[in-house]
Amino acid sequence: MPKVGILMGSDSDMPVMAKAAAVLDELKVSYEMRIISAHREPDVFFEYARTAEERGLKVIIAGAGMAAHLPGMCAAIFPLPVIGIPMHTTSLGGRDSLYSIVQMPSGIPVATVAIGGGANAALLAAKILAVSDAELLDKLKAYSRRLKEQVMEKDARLGEVGYRHYGQ
């Protein structure tokens, strides 16, 4: 049974949302991924958000661009954590999406990551779940160690080859 819902309003959001899925795959966190438009098919959206808790979801990651209503509407209906991912837009570079998600009214919080922050949304979802899952917490600690090791390897390479040859 999936613990995380990954929701997007358009398949154009897939490159960002796929990053969230990849991190959850790496951490072995179960999820479902759907394309549902809150504007174009509100009945489908409301049914999804209304039944998410009873279907076992613990966190929803919702990506949205422009008016970015998907995360906020999820938070208005789903009683558990919602993480919003603002999408980059051509008109305002994603600032419109960011402001729409982060400026929720009092009582309807949406945790918000950076514009295009699919990986961080998944990590935040995993950290929320890890509060009551020691095995997942261990996986997150190992993930952090791998990040540290990657930086140390890059620093060692820079020391060996110098900045002129680093990217070659």
What would the pLDDT profile of 46-57 be if each residue is shown by its tens digit? 999 999 999 999
pTM listed for this prediction: 0.94
Task: Tell me what the mean pLDDT of segment 55-74 comes to.
Answer: 94
Predicted confidence band of residue 67 (pLDDT cuts 50, 70, 90): confident
Query: Strands 111-112, 59-64: parallel, antiparallel or unpaired by DSSP?
Result: unpaired
Task: Tell me what the mean pLDDT of segment 79-102 comes to.
Answer: 95
Predicted confidence band of residue 133 (pLDDT cuts 50, 70, 90): very high
Of 104, 129, 90, nearest in space to 5 by CA: 129
Which residue(s) pair with 111 in the sheet? 83
What residues contact 98, with CB distance under 8 A and at least 6 apart?
68, 86, 112, 115
Position 143 pLDDT exceeds 90: yes
Write down how long the chain is. Answer: 168
101, two tokens: 């998600």
What residues contact 156, with CB distance under 8 A and at least 6 apart?
none
